[in-house]
Structure 1
Amino acid sequence: MTFTLPDHWVWDFWFARDGDTHHMYFLQAPTSLGDPDLRHRNATVGHATSTDLRTWTVHGTVLRPSGGDAPDATATWTGSVVREAQTWRMFYTGSRFLDPVAHANVETVLAASASEPGAWTKDASVVVAADPRWYETLGDGTWHEQAWRDPWVFADPAGDGWHMLVTARALGDGERDTGVIGHARSADLSRWEVSPPLSVPGAGFAHLEVPQLVQIDGRWALIFSCDSAHLAGARTGERGGIWAVALDDPLGPYPVDRAVLVASEKLYSGRITQDAAGRDVMLAFENIGTDGAFVGALSDPLPVRWENDRLIVEEIAA
């Protein structure tokens, strides 16, 4: 059963697992806005739980924008959740639009914590921003936003602290083809040091959204999304959607130039998790309907598997 809300669009989402319970956090905005393009300026984070990834209980809103001059003044966007000892930590995107009409927007990674994954308190001490030594910023005047969003946080496989992957753009001279996977490191999930990107520009993507590092059947993969409108360079004119690339090393470098499309952009923001039987599945938000309009609902789980070095999403194999 597809996840929908009666009076809201839903789109990007992320999971936290607590025993047999899947906690899902999702972006939501009221359909009363009329125009789905306005959802980005009006996004809050909702919460739902399930034991089978199909039937969900909705628990309401857990994060809202802070207003004023805060980094999340306008909206709260996509993130991820990790658990350290008895504390749950959510890293999310704070969005601050500088004008009520223009697209100028500064994105910053922020954090919240909870003793259980349903009641979150923002942690104002955690602010992770794009470092102009390696990343394009709004002040460069080359792009309509300061891209630094969709943090995916994971523990170092060797036990050496934590890593954060971020949707970012490398320094350039205004080229579209500078989308990269940004990187930051931390020993304690509080103090973060921004590092050079883990991929190189020129791979055909103006942005690599909602990145996820995941291990499937013992093999590492990077999952991300890029729509047709933001394909660049040699990929210009191709169709976009959800992409995947097999990795030799989970800590990079990431060869995103070899990424292949695993689902067309009728689905977007694919996330891989395991169902109750331990099977790897992908969920995504339903993006474009048969009439070409935005849908704003979440899919049921779709089985995934490897076919040589290519990730296959069953039922929508590219």
Structure 2
Amino acid sequence: MPWFPLNQYIWDFWFTWQDSTLHLFYLQASPSQCHYNPERRHNQAVLGHSQLTPWGWQTIPHPQPAFSPGKPGTWDDLAIWSGSIIQQDQKYYLFYTGRRRQDAPQWTAHEWQRPQHIGLATSEDLRHWQRFPHNPILANPGTAAGLDGVAWRDPYVIQGEDQRYYAFICTRSQSAPLDRGGMVVYCVSDHLEQWDNQPHILIESPEFYQMEVPQVFWHKNGHFKRLYLIFSAQAKDCSAQRYEADPSQCVTGTYYHVSEPVSLDCQEFPPFTTKAKVLISGLYAGKFVQPKGENSALFYGFHWSEIGGHFGNGLSDPLWFQFQPDGTVSISTSGFGISNNLLEFFV
């Protein structure tokens, strides 16, 4: 069964480890503060925090939410949006999306949105967070960078094989047609607290209006490796061209891009030369746990909608996916029924 925290709407999420314990951070909003309308959750979002135990996910008690918007008048005083956590030495670095209440919404190709920026907070125990004094650490570069000046969110931060740090960010091209131009770009850092704010394009898509909550990793197979980009999109985000080519590949859910194989010592990001494939329909913001080293990995997503078409809420059961030699990723039926003994797969 999926997991639902008590009396909360939950959606986008990410993982981090504390020694051998897997922690889960996620966007949450109180149904009462949303007047029991989940569509209002985006401006009420704070962070929730749970950890995996032998009895399933257990919410970590905090005096307040795990992380909340900033004080009135600050750059992140409206709501906290998606991010990721990376550990360096004994410190955890939380990169997150924020918006300022006093910023006027701007019209994008599909909707009104406030400009988004990316901030940093640090912790030594995953429970007490201190905002970085020079936030936003990755400010929205705006239209001068060829972007739409609004979308700049969902940072997914990893350490590359060259030991530098990479923040992959969801954004959108300024000049793209209305049904395409979704982008994932990246910025680079040597030590996490100072970034080159010049975005480098990982992909500008001719197939999607937006490519949300990215996860990027290398997967090795023998003497070669491939780069994977996991992202989410709604059916309405797919371009007319993609619908014409294959409507079955236009769903609300999680997708992936995969590169051609490259040598193990390659450190540059290879291009994605084929169309994105549906990884799974109906589960959004999907993430793999430890996808790098094995031919199979566990996957989670949140339920986009229930049978009546309303907001689904809740984290899915873990699903096994298999990485095939040709680069495709497929669900594995042999992995079903493992949730009662999930911890044994992480030790």
TM category, shorter: 0.7 to 0.9
Q: 2:129 aligns with which of 120, 128, 139?
A: 120
Residue 284 of structure 1 corresponds to 301
Give, in whole Å, the separation in 2 of the partners of 1:112 and 1:125. 10
Q: 1:156 aligns with which of 160, 163, 166?
A: 160
The 8 Å contact of residues 171 and 182 in structure 2, kept in 1 or not, is answered as: yes
What are the residue-to-residue correspondences of 1:109-148 with 2, within 5 Å?
Answer: 109-127=118-136, 128-131=138-141, 132-138=143-149, 146-148=150-152
Residue 35 of structure 1 corresponds to 37
Paired residue secondary structure (1:124): coil
Residues 191-243 of structure 1: CA distance to partner in whole angstroms, max 9, x if unpaired?
A: 11133443343421111111001344654311110111211241246323101
Relative to its length, the structure with more strand (as a share) is 1
Paired residue secondary structure (2:321): strand
Matched letter for residue 89 of structure 2: A
Residue 142 of structure 1 corresponds to none
Residue 310 of structure 1 corresponds to 328
Residue 17 of structure 1, CA deviation: 0.8
- Greater CA deviation, 196-205 or 282-291? 196-205
Give, in whole Å, the separation in 2 of the partners of 1:81 and 1:39. 22
Residue 124 of structure 1, CA deviation: 3.1
Unaligned runs of 5+ in 2: 334-347
Alignment of 1:73 with 2:77, yes or no, is: yes
Q: How many residue pairs are counted as aligned between the two chains?
A: 305
Give, in whole Å, the separation in 2 of the partners of 1:103 and 1:123. 29
What are the residue-to-residue correspondences of 1:14-93 with 2, within 5 Å?
Answer: 14-32=14-32, 33=34, 34-51=36-53, 54-60=56-62, 61-93=65-97
Give, in whole Å, the separation in 1 of the partners of 2:271 and 2:56. 32
Paired residue secondary structure (1:63): coil
The 8 Å contact of residues 126 and 191 in structure 1, kept in 2 or not, is answered as: no
Alignment of 1:201 with 2:213, yes or no, is: no
The 8 Å contact of residues 202 and 269 in structure 2, kept in 1 or not, is answered as: yes
Q: 1:235 aligns with which of 221, 229, 242?
A: 242
Residues 261-292 of structure 1: CA distance to partner in whole angstroms, max 9, x if unpaired?
A: 0111x2100011049xx862001101111111
Give, in whole Å, the separation in 2 of the partners of 1:26 and 1:200. 26
Residue 134 of structure 1, CA deviation: 2.7
Paired residue secondary structure (1:55): strand
Give, in whole Å, the separation in 1 of the partners of 2:19 and 2:203. 38
> Max radius of gyration: which structure?
2
Residues 51-82 of structure 1: CA distance to partner in whole angstroms, max 9, x if unpaired?
A: 46933233342111114332212100111111
Distance 1:281 1:259, change over 3 A: same
Q: 2:288 aligns with which of 246, 249, 272?
A: 272
Matched letter for residue 58 of structure 1: I
Alignment of 1:293 with 2:293, yes or no, is: no
Distance 1:287 1:150, change over 3 A: same
* % identity of equivalent residues: 24
Distance 1:216 1:305, change over 3 A: farther
Residue 306 of structure 1, CA deviation: 1.7
What are the residue-to-residue correspondences of 1:159-174 with 2, within 5 Å?
Answer: 159=163, 161-172=164-175
Residue 233 of structure 2 corresponds to 226
Residue 155 of structure 1, CA deviation: 0.8
Alignment of 1:104 with 2:122, yes or no, is: no
Residues 12-58 of structure 1: CA distance to partner in whole angstroms, max 9, x if unpaired?
A: 00111122201110000111222111101100001111146933233
Give, in whole Å, the separation in 1 of the partners of 2:61 and 2:162. 36
Give, in whole Å, the separation in 2 of the partners of 1:304 and 1:53. 23
Paired residue secondary structure (1:270): strand
Paired residue secondary structure (2:241): helix
Residue 117 of structure 1, CA deviation: 1.8
Give, in whole Å, the separation in 1 of the partners of 2:146 and 2:31. 35
Unaligned runs of 5+ in 1: 139-145
Paired residue secondary structure (2:285): strand
Paired residue secondary structure (2:40): helix
Residue 129 of structure 1, CA deviation: 2.0
Residue 13 of structure 1 corresponds to 13
The 8 Å contact of residues 245 and 310 in structure 1, kept in 2 or not, is answered as: no
Residues 87-129 of structure 1: CA distance to partner in whole angstroms, max 9, x if unpaired?
A: 1111011123535998331110101001122221111314212
